[in-house]
Amino acid sequence: MSILADEAHAVDLGLRWAPGFSALGPEFFSEVEPRPLPDPYWVGRSLAMARELGLDPAWLDSAEGLAVFTGNLPIAGTRPTASVYSGHQFGVWAGQLGDGRALSLGTTAGGLEIQLKGAGPTPYSRMADGRAVLRSSIREFLCSEAMHGLGIPTTRALCVTGSDARVRRETFESAAVVTRVAPSFVRFGHFEHFAAAQRDDELRALADFVIDRFYPECRGGERFGGNAYAALLEAVSERTARLLAQWQAVGFCHGVMNTDNMSILGLTIDYGPFQFLDGFDPRHICNHSDASGRYAFNQQPNVAYWNLYCLAQALLPLIGEQELAVAALESYKTVFPDAFEARMRDKLGLAEGAPGDRALLEGVLKLLAQEKVDYTIFWRRLSDMVAGGDPQAVRDLFIDRGGIDGWLAGYAERRATIPVAEVAALMVKSNPKFVLRNHLGQEAIEAAEQKDFSGVATLLALLETPFEDHPGHDAFAGFPPDWASTIEISCSS
Ligand code: AMP
Ligand code: MG
């Protein structure tokens, strides 16, 4: 008898479970048992996430917690499932994909779904091993919590566990399991899956599930003549637009914006070869496997729209009329630029818009791009300058002193009528001091591979509150070392 079928071993997490995605029925998922990993150990834990789930932190510290979140012990009251979805990868229809290495443990009564990523194969693993490696699991764990700390919608992460079991990638690496948490992991690809198979009943059930749980305002309104599915498409387009505005403003490059990696809730999901920009290069490609630059930093807003178009196609059988679907997508074209400008104005400390703001913003982005000035450091130094610091620290970032002096003069004029304290207060909470740069992650990973997990804990603490100063940790807010540009991160993880 398998250990998971053995109810006697099942652990009571002290949480109440509610029917979540699994309420949709067996057409949408398969029940799958995690495959245990030998001798697991803790790599990282987010106590903030534990508290939100209502888990006792002391229990999370225990050997039982370790076993549960490695997939080595079953949980009482729920059954693990893997869901089926399809999607477009790099612009091409890829057919059926699905949770190849993610298992949903269940949804809490508080509405949070808990997944294990890397706990073994599922019916959707397609010849792959269902595992995740330590390096990419640490990256997903830290970046999930970092995005949350930045105020950017994201799936969260509770913990990472590791095992010395070997996993084969380009070389052999150690296995790990990330526990991630979100109100839902439904992707655009879930809709594409049932649309492609012309299974309209399932398509409708899925859309109704998403509307009822997450977009109830889409029902019963007057918009689109009361067409709830068109209203859903519009609401998802708007959330996605606002998400992309936040990515672009903070300098986040996702790296694999396939439609199966797009959350129906507008969350950042599936952390793979992502990167926070070091020097500002709008054409930066962070995914080593993306030879054509389809997912380059400055392409992301367009790709999101392309992906929404795929979602629109999938929802068309429910929406009925093509014109309604087209109209629902339109919102993206205004919400994205408006939201982006608003986020960038926040970075400039300008709460209210004024004519000329776009030119001011374009001016500074052009200067940053010309010299590939460090994006995060520039904005933080600009905040410090406004708060009373030395403007020389900003000027020092540029070789073209005339260019930045001219821009700074225009900026000073623009904010002259606003109290300095107001501008500075907005800037300091809009320009993070700490982001998960590739080299910081890499250093924590290399230490973790030697069983030193202190770097993961330190980074987590900084990234949870990235706008705070954290005295004594300035090294984590400095320029990347030369070797940072040689880090290659691909889809393989
Ligand atoms: P990704 O590029 O990480 O979003 O993955 C795309 C698809 O490949 C999804 O269906 C994943 O579940 C699946 N996949 C990726 N890596 C593995 C793996 N090691 N084992 C099983 N499935 C995987
Ligand atoms: Mg994925």
pLDDT, tens digit, 9 for 90 and up, residues 386-441:
999 999 999 999 999 999 999 999 999 999 999 999 999 999 999 999 999 999 99
Q: Which two tokens stand for residue 6?
A: 């053995």
Which amino acid is it at 87? G
Residue with CA closest to ligand 1 atom 13: 100
- Pocket test of ligand 1: the residue of 29, 88, 97, 169 to mutate, having most ligand atoms within 8 Å of its CB, is 97
Per domain, the residue ranges of the chain are 7-182, 188-341, 342-430
Which residues on adjacent β-strands are paired with residue 153?
none
1: confidence class by pLDDT, cuts 50, 70, 90: very low
Give 444's Cβ-side CA count (13 Å radius).
29
The arithmetic mean of pLDDT across residues 354-366, rounded, is: 97
Distance separating alpha carbons of residues 383 and 98, to the nearest angstrom: 44
Distance separating alpha carbons of residues 423 and 38, to the nearest angstrom: 54
Please report the pLDDT score of residue 184 as a whole number.
98
Between the CA of 302 and the centroid of ligand 2 the distance, in Å, is 19
Q: What is the DSSP letter of 220?
A: S
The arithmetic mean of pLDDT across residues 180-196, rounded, is: 98
Q: Per-residue pLDDT for 4 more than 70?
A: no
Please report the pLDDT score of residue 403 as a whole number.
97
Q: Report which ligand 1 atom has the smallest distance to the Cα of 130.
A: 20
Q: Which two tokens stand for residue 149?
A: 């700390």
Which ligand ends up closest to the CA of 493? 1
Residues touching ligand 1 (Cβ under 6 Å) are 97-101, 124-125, 128-131, 256, 260-261, 270, 272, 491
Q: Report which ligand 1 atom has the smallest distance to the Cα of 256.
A: 2
Phi then psi for residue 43, to 5 deg, are: -110, -40
- Who's near 480: CB < 8 A, 6+ residues apart? 278, 374, 437, 438, 439
Please report the pLDDT score of residue 6 as a whole number.
60
pLDDT, tens digit, 9 for 90 and up, residues 376-387:
999 999 999 999
Between the CA of 92 and the centroid of ligand 2 the distance, in Å, is 15
Q: Per-residue pLDDT for 481 more than 70?
A: yes
The arithmetic mean of pLDDT across residues 208-225, rounded, is: 96
Between the CA of 410 and the centroid of ligand 2 the distance, in Å, is 44
Give 389's Cβ-side CA count (13 Å radius).
16
How many C-beta atoms lie closer than 10 Å to residue 321's C-beta?
13
Q: Report which ligand 1 atom has the smallest distance to the Cα of 102.
A: 12
Q: Report which ligand 1 atom has the smallest distance to the Cα of 129.
A: 20
Q: Per-residue pLDDT for 5 more than 60?
A: no
CA 24 from centroid of its chain's CA atoms: 25
The arithmetic mean of pLDDT across residues 358-366, rounded, is: 98
Q: What percent of the chain has pLDDT over 70?
A: 99
Distance separating alpha carbons of residues 329 and 234, to the nearest angstrom: 6
pLDDT, tens digit, 9 for 90 and up, residues 84-124:
999 999 999 999 999 999 999 999 999 999 999 999 999 99
Q: Across all residues in the chain, what is the average pLDDT?
A: 96
Q: Quote the pTM value.
A: 0.97
Phi/psi region, residue 226 (left: phi>0; alpha: psi -120 to 50; beta: rest), is: left
Residue with CA closest to ligand 1 atom 8: 100
Are 205 and 299 in contact by the 8 Å Cβ rule? The answer is: no
Q: Which residues line ion ligand 2, judged by CB < 5 Å?
A: 261, 270
